[in-house]
Each structure stands twice: as structure tokens, then as C-alpha cells.
């Protein structure tokens, strides 16, 4: 994209969802994506009215953040279950005896950190998770932010010609090259195979009805129905387009912050800029549905 342009804004955010909240306070990070929710204790028994407002805030903002949440693993799992059945990760380590509680940790001896490239979680599943709830318990002194990007904005700001080219197209999302050997240094044995699925390139969000670009650099390997060289070139363009900072927010963690993102319409990317410091927490992941174009 050129720095100089006179065609008006590259992305026009046309949403209109400023109705008040009664139970929670919602403070947006940007007009496009991200909001901090306050006035709620996720460890406590939350009334259905509050849950409805959290669901609405997630639908409107794609990712929501909470501060100062002293949740136990059991309370974290219970909060996740209010949104649906929980997902068990096909490869990543979990807390002993709690397969639905994924461990997120990087320290001085780590050879990698989770989520260091743009992706949506486990999009190689036939039914990829709808959302992920990350509770960071220990933070480095600085750094370790997570970036989130709206795939509604990414879709909406494509040209009409590109939208009609992609309409109805499907793509392969593969877990094999992502997960094989990934956790071997943590003593996790490889599975005989990892998930692989075909999904529409643009999907309709089941709650909001909005269209979202649904390819990501982590898992999407191939556009179907076009030659390999064309697929590589178009995917490279879409991955670069999806990284436009216009579609993003960036969250600065503190100990006991929680982020809850919707994998159906947002991508994310974690920064490992804090080595050799420790950053660690737990993730609970909520099952989703088969993507529909």
C-alpha cells in the first residue's frame, strides 16, 4: 500500500453498535477490534444477564480483555464451559489431569513460544475452535504483548474484484507442518497424524452474519481449484493484506489479565520479545462449528 493515497480511508468501519451495557463496562481499544471489560469477576458465579453481555461484547469487538482475574484452573474451565463444550488441543501440553487446560509458557530455556506467527487456533480441525480464553499468570517486566487482527476488516477492505475472485473458493488448512515435532523438547510424543481440513476462504460468522476472511499464514497451505503458483501468490497477498495495522489492536498484559478471542473472525500473534524472562499461563479453548461460506 502506498503512503500517499487520495481515495479516502483504506478501511471504512461501518458498524453501528453503541447500545449501552447494563451489567458490565466495555471500553474499546480501537474502533475496529478489541475492548476491555470491567466490573466482572470471572471466578464468581456469573448471572445469565452478565454472560449475555459478555457474549455481545465479544461479538461486537472480536476480542475482549479482563484485568485482575484471580481464577483457579477449575474456575477458568467453568467459565469456558459457559460458552460451550471445551476443545482438547491435538498437540500442545496440558496441565496434568486437565486435558482441556493448555499450558502457555516461555522462559530462558525455551526454544520457541506459542503463537509467534499470525494464525487462528487449530484452523486445521474440521470444526475449528470458536474461541480461546487465555489467562496469563506471570508476565515479563516488559513485552510479551499479543496482537489481534479483524478478519471482517480484512475482508471488507479487499477490492470488489478480489472479493468476487475469492467468493466460493475453498482452501486447505493443514496441522502436519505446524505440529509435527513442535513440542518434542517438552517430552510430548508425536501423533501418527495431525488434522487437515478444507474451509471456505470467506466465512459467514454464525452470530453476527458478517463475512470474514478465513485464511491464515499458520495453517492455510493451498487455495483449491487454481494452479499451485497462483495459489502461492494469492495466499501471499492475502497474508500480507491481513497484517495491515489498520485491522489490529495490541494488548499489553499484566499478571492475571485474561483475553478471550473469537477465532472465527480474528487472527492473533504473540510477541516473544522478552527472553530470557518468564511468561506463563493457561488457555481454555471452546469448541466451534464447521465454517460456512
Residues that bind ligand AKG (CB under 6 A): 104, 114-115, 121, 132, 134, 146, 268, 270, 283
Nearest approach, Cβ of residue 155 and ligand AKG (Å): 21
Collapsing DSSP to helix, strand or coil, 64 comes out as: strand
Quick one: which H or E segment has residue 59?
helix 48-61
The answer to whether residue 137 is catalytic is no
Q: Are strands 25-28 and 35-38 parallel, antiparallel or unpaired?
A: antiparallel
Of 82, 93, 88, 102, the C-alpha closest to 42 is 82
Establish if 100 lies at the interface with Fe ion (CB under 5 A).
Answer: no
Is 222 within 8 Å of 231 (Cβ atoms)? yes
In whole angstroms, the minimum distance from the beta carbon of 261 to ligand AKG comes to 8
Q: How near is the Cβ of 268 to ligand AKG at its closest, in Å?
A: 6
Q: Which is nearer to Fe ion, 53 or 121 (CB)?
A: 121
Residue at shortest CB range from ligand AKG: 115
Our answer to whether residue 268 is catalytic in this structure is yes
Question: Which of 152, 251 has the CB closer to ligand AKG?
Answer: 251
Give buried/exposed letters for 20-29 (b at 16+ CB in 10 A, else e). Answer: eeeebebeeb
Q: What share of the chain is helix, strand, coil (3-state, %, to 5)?
A: 20, 30, 50
Q: Which of residues 121-180 bind Fe ion (CB under 5 A)?
A: 121
As measured in angstroms, the least distance from the Cβ of 121 to Fe ion is: 4
**Which residues does the annotation mark as catalytic?**
119, 121, 268, 283
- Residues near Fe ion, by CB under 5 A: 115, 121
Amino acid at each position: 500500500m502506498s503512503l500517499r493515497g487520495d481515495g479516502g480511508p483504506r478501511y471504512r468501519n461501518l458498524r453501528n453498535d453503541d447500545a449501552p451495557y447494563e451489567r458490565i463496562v466495555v471500553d474499546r481499544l480501537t474502533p475496529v477490534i478489541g475492548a476491555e471489560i470491567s466490573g466482572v469477576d470471572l471466578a464468581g458465579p456469573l448471572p445469565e444477564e452478565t454472560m449475555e453481555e459478555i457474549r455481545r461484547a465479544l461479538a461486537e469487538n472480536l476480542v475482549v480483555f479482563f484485568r485482575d482475574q484471580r481464577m483457579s484452573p477449575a474456575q477458568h474451565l467453568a467459565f469456558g464451559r459457559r460458552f460451550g463444550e471445551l476443545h482438547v488441543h491435538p498437540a500442545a501440553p496440558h496441565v496434568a489431569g486437565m486435558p482441556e487446560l493448555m499450558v502457555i509458557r516461555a522462559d530462558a530455556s525455551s526454544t520457541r513460544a506459542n503463537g509467534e506467527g499470525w494464525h487462528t487456533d487449530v484452523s486445521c480441525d474440521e470444526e475449528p475452535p470458536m474461541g480461546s480464553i487465555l489467562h496469563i499468570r506471570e508476565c515479563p517486566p516488559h513485552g510479551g504483548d499479543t496482537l489481534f487482527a479483524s478478519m471482517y476488516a480484512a475482508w471488507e477492505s479487499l477490492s470488489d474484484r478480489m472479493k468476487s475472485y475469492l467468493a466460493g473458493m475453498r482452501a486447505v488448512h493443514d496441522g502436519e507442518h505446524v505440529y509435527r515435532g513442535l513440542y518434542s523438547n517438552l517430552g510430548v510424543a508425536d501423533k501418527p497424524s495431525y488434522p487437515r481440513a478444507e474451509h471456505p476462504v470467506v466465512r459467514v460468522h454464525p452470530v453476527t452474519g458478517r463475512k470474514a476472511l478465513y485464511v491464515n499464514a499458520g495453517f492455510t497451505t493451498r487455495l483449491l481449484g487454481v494452479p499451485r503458483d497462483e495459489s502461492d501468490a494469492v495466499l501471499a497477498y492475502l497474508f500480507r493484506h491481513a497484517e495491515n495495522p489498520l485491522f489490529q489492536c495490541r494488548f499489553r498484559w499484566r499478571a492475571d489479565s485474561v483475553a478471550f478471542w473469537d477465532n472465527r473472525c480474528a487472527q492473533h500473534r504473540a510477541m516473544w520479545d522478552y527472553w530470557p524472562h518468564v511468561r506463563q499461563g493457561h488457555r481454555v479453548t471452546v469448541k466451534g462449528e464447521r465454517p460456512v461460506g
